[in-house]
Chains A and B, each alone.
Chain A
Amino acid sequence: MSRAGYDDVVVTAPVTLSYVRYSIHGAHWFLAGALAELLQRAGLGKGEIDGLCVSSFTLAPDTAVGLTQHLGLTLRWLDHIPMGGASGILALRRAARAVQCGDADAVACVAGDTNHTDSFRLNLATFSEFARDAVYPYGSGGANTSFAFLTAHYIRSYGAAREDFGKLCIAQRANAVKFPHALIRKPLTLDDYLTARLIAEPLRLFDCVMPCAGADAFLVLRRGKAEALGLSYARILSTIERHNAFRDDPIQYRGGWALDRDELYGQAGVGPQDIDVLATYDDYPVISLMQMEDLGFCDKGEGPDFVRRNTFTVNGSFPVNTSGGQLSVGQAGAAGGFLGLVEVIRQLTGQALGGAVADPRVGLVSGFGMINYDRGLCSGAAILAASGGPA
């Protein structure tokens, strides 16, 4: 049975709070701030939201249901998605079906985390049972260790050069310079990138995201309602998700996108050549190259060549992570899984806060999450269209 389309379900009201490196507040503070800004932008009262989808690593001991009382919300649909970098795509998928089926009329999707001086370490130490048992005791490097393994293997297998990863990081930094909420806005040179201090060979400082606090949000509802509210919106052409794909690969060199991309493009009725703006999940540059390959922008192993042939700034040949991505904006925990999605909504609705891609019609957002042991388990992607874009 083929997947149903999303009819007239749309996504709107993209919100990114200004990120901060450290905060004395709890996760609730950031989630409340993002929700308040979303309501204000949408012109809705709290009582006009009947669905909520929450992602956060630092909300414990609360879950989404605790948040309903904390924020004083009465809802008829509620979800909690603890899937990190895939949580934005997954929130969109679930919320869109709820709205499409009439289980809810307006679903606010919110992700956010706080960051105290020691919370990142504590989160790493207990991130998953496998991480606690079989990774963290080995050097306690966190995700740096896992991505160092994947990056070293990718370099060896496909002949990538450090400069290839650097080119992407530098382009994203150039995008971030114009994005007011980015934490790191100092222009990055290739020399800065290549000579930064070593973190986990071959990774150096600017290959790694900076943990921080912040929140992102968006709103899912029907087109008619968005139009009645005077909101510009993006349409949902297709979405995919996959968990623990290619589990017999001894080391990760591809993700679930490679399994599902034909359906992704098939349902959307567009191909990779039609994508005007791309948001990859970019906690480390190697995973952006993997997504470009697995989503069909180039063949497997041709990521380095694709990088050499393209430019990735807002006005480049292939705009990627136009707000600067996590590598420049920061990684606010689960909000990192929302950052690319809200940026593509902004681009497609003419609301870019930084540099704007010229007349984008179709955008692709990709998510990747949860290094449970030796690899990221969750992959997802969504193709969105501007309201005047392809049907």
Chain B
Amino acid sequence: MTRPLVRPPRKNPIVRTRMPTLPPAGRSRVALGLTAAAARGRFELQVCRDCGTVQYPPRESCCSCLSRRLDWRPQDGTGDLLSETTLWHSNELFYRERVPWRLGMVRLDCGPVVVAHLHGDCDAAPSRVRVRAALDRAGQAALIALPEKDAPNMADDRQLREMTCNPKFRKVLITDAKTPLGQAMVETIVAADADLVWAGYSEPWKKTHGFDRLTALPQVSLLPLDLTNSRAVKDAAGEIGGRVDILINTADYHRNYGIAARNGLEAARAEMDVNYFGLLRLAQEFAPAMRGRGADGQSSAVAWVNLLSIFALSNFPPHGTYSASKAAALSLAQCLRAELSPAGVRVINVFPGPIDDEWNQLIPPPKIAPARLASDIVEALRGGAEDIYPGDIAQEWLARWRDNPKTLERELAAATR
């Protein structure tokens, strides 16, 4: 059984902070199909469209019938652990710093044999296991075999924790804690055993219902933070930037306009100032310190979460300028992901459907409740994905977009008529 994590002692300021190292990141293009699925939290393998063979490692053609018509399809990952080893030596720095490291060879019930990281709670071979795909610290998909049934403290397994961003005993900044989502985020992350939560707020003269309640939580510290003010962001980073393990950017400015419905740039500029430039200001001030703390012990800097919108994928004309600001933020988040990846810090992009709040009043249900969105974000941190699409509308739009983005564009355009 996994021993539960203990709260780490205060950091010794004399000891050097180790530089981040990564597991090998090289993959062939075809193998990135595994990463593309794992990025969405799925375990998919290539399945031959002609003969149905499931295969691994990824190939350019079917190993059974030579067909090149291969589809990535979800797999349940159950299988038999055939053999195992524990490495005490590795050729790469990342693992040299982490041995002993347990590995298994698993024959999946769907056919192929895989090499996988082996969770500490798996019984010795031969035994039954479940294989999952998750992104490792290099941001590439890796397979991990878990015990057939959940075990207590499973998430605290040392190897599994290298593939997740679990908030347990970590320090978390929530950039805007005043909104309904921000408040729910604070409460959910506290319930997830975060060590310390900085609750960012701006415009203190505007009272928000419920915000005072957060201050009663012992883990919470209030932090003045206005993402439209470069100086304020720099000051906040100067104060706490070296301690943030997880940054959750919940700041969001949302108005309901397309182009023709409103003259002038004020609303669009305000959206861009929070949703796009706000992210850029945060990234410039907070990312460098997080990059330096990717290997800072048990509670290293580990994740950066962006609240985007399903509208970032394809413009929703009734919220046209807002969609554009989220699309800009998505593009910038991809840049941030590339820049944080050498440190092993994961950028998680959240694409919710319409949140059940004031600015989505006219959108029919099912809209996502702030508390549900907050718990989906914590689940993402505990899992191995980097792109999540919470809510039924987001899931449906994602399916339509993946099926054919041009069709979705036409369908969304029809909403303006």
* Given A134-B56, A149-B83, A251-B113, A141 and B90 contact (CB-CB distance below 8 Å): yes
Size bracket, chain B contacts: 35 or more
Q: Which residues of A contact B95 (CB under 8 A)?
A: 139-141
Bitwise, A127-160 to B at CB < 8 A (1) or not (0) is 0011011111111111011001110110010000
In the complex, chain A residues 25-82 whose Cβ is within 8 Å of any chain B Cβ: none
Please count how many residues in chain A sit with their CB below 8 Å of the partner chain's CB atoms: 37
* Beta-carbon contact of A137 and B113 below 8 Å: no
Q: How far is the CA of A247 from the CA of B5 in the complex (A)?
A: 43
* Cβ of A200 under 8 Å from chain B: yes
Task: List the A residue with the shortest CB-CB distance to B56.
Answer: A134
* Cβ of A308 under 8 Å from chain B: no
* Beta-carbon contact of B117 and A138 below 8 Å: yes
* Beta-carbon contact of A124 and B91 below 8 Å: yes
* Given A145-B103, A153-B82, A201-B88, A138 and B113 contact (CB-CB distance below 8 Å): no
* Cβ of A225 under 8 Å from chain B: no
Q: Which residues of B contact A250 (CB under 8 A)?
A: 82, 107, 113
* Beta-carbon contact of A199 and B92 below 8 Å: no
* Beta-carbon contact of B105 and A149 below 8 Å: yes
* Beta-carbon contact of A251 and B82 below 8 Å: yes
User: 4 other contacts beyond A140-B94, A250-B113, with CB at 8 A cut-off?
Assistant: A125-B92, A152-B83, A201-B86, A373-B57
* Beta-carbon contact of B83 and A139 below 8 Å: no
Q: How far is the CA of A104 from the CA of B158 in the complex (A)?
A: 60
Q: Which residues of A contact B85 (CB under 8 A)?
A: 141, 145, 148-149, 152, 200-203
Q: Which residues of B contact A130 (CB under 8 A)?
A: 57
* Cβ of A374 under 8 Å from chain B: yes
Most buried by A among B95, B103, B136: B103
Q: How far is the CA of A141 from the CA of B140 in the complex (A)?
A: 18
* Beta-carbon contact of A197 and B88 below 8 Å: yes
* Beta-carbon contact of B24 and A200 below 8 Å: no
Q: Which residues of B contact A148 (CB under 8 A)?
A: 85, 87
Segment at the interface with A among B26-34, B193-201, B222-230, B254-262: B26-34
Q: How far is the CA of A136 from the CA of B83 in the complex (A)?
A: 17
* Cβ of A126 under 8 Å from chain B: yes
Q: Which residues of B contact A156 (CB under 8 A)?
A: 83, 125
* Cβ of A120 under 8 Å from chain B: yes
* Beta-carbon contact of A141 and B113 below 8 Å: no
* Given A138-B142, A149-B105, A152-B85, A120 and B91 contact (CB-CB distance below 8 Å): yes
8 pairs from A and B in contact (CB 8 Å cutoff): A125-B24, A132-B24, A138-B142, A140-B23, A148-B85, A149-B83, A199-B87, A201-B86
* Chain B residues within CB distance 8 Å of chain A: 23-28, 31, 56-58, 82-92, 94-95, 101, 103, 105, 107, 113-117, 125, 136, 138, 140, 142-143
* Beta-carbon contact of A141 and B89 below 8 Å: yes
Task: List the A residue with the shortest CB-CB distance to B26.
Answer: A132
Which 9 pairs of residues, A with B, have the shortest CB-CB distance? A148-B85, A140-B92, A133-B31, A134-B57, A198-B88, A153-B83, A149-B83, A121-B91, A201-B86
Q: How far is the CA of A120 from the CA of B91 in the complex (A)?
A: 9
Q: Which residues of A contact B107 (CB under 8 A)?
A: 250-251
* Chain A residues within CB distance 8 Å of chain B: 120-121, 124-126, 129-130, 132-142, 144-145, 148-150, 152-153, 156, 197-203, 250-251, 373-374
* Beta-carbon contact of A139 and B84 below 8 Å: no
Minimum Cβ distance to chain B for residue A277 (Å) = 33
The one of A133, A138, A142 in contact with B103, judged by C-beta atoms closer than 8 angstroms, is: A138
Q: How far is the CA of A200 from the CA of B101 in the complex (A)?
A: 9
* Beta-carbon contact of B125 and A136 below 8 Å: no
The one of A126, A149, A198 in contact with B26, judged by C-beta atoms closer than 8 angstroms, is: A126
Q: How far is the CA of A137 from the CA of B26 in the complex (A)?
A: 8
Most buried by B among A126, A153, A202: A153
Q: Which residues of B contact A374 (CB under 8 A)?
A: 105, 113, 115
Q: How far is the CA of A203 from the CA of B87 in the complex (A)?
A: 9
Q: Which residues of A contact B57 (CB under 8 A)?
A: 129-130, 133-134, 373
* Beta-carbon contact of B88 and A200 below 8 Å: yes
Q: How far is the CA of A124 from the CA of B103 in the complex (A)?
A: 17
Q: How far is the CA of A155 from the CA of B14 in the complex (A)?
A: 48
* Beta-carbon contact of B115 and A145 below 8 Å: yes
Minimum Cβ distance to chain B for residue A164 (Å) = 18
The one of B25, B28, B89, B101 in contact with A199, judged by C-beta atoms closer than 8 angstroms, is: B89
Q: Which residues of B contact A200 (CB under 8 A)?
A: 85-89
Q: How far is the CA of A197 from the CA of B125 in the complex (A)?
A: 23
* Beta-carbon contact of A132 and B115 below 8 Å: no
* Beta-carbon contact of A138 and B116 below 8 Å: yes
Q: How far is the CA of A114 from the CA of B134 in the complex (A)?
A: 38
* Given A137-B142, A138-B116, A251-B105, A132 and B83 contact (CB-CB distance below 8 Å): no
Q: Which residues of A contact B92 (CB under 8 A)?
A: 121, 125, 140
* Beta-carbon contact of B87 and A144 below 8 Å: yes
Q: Which residues of A contact B101 (CB under 8 A)?
A: 139
Q: How far is the CA of A202 from the CA of B85 in the complex (A)?
A: 7
Minimum Cβ distance to chain B for residue A284 (Å) = 12
Q: Which residues of B contact A203 (CB under 8 A)?
A: 85
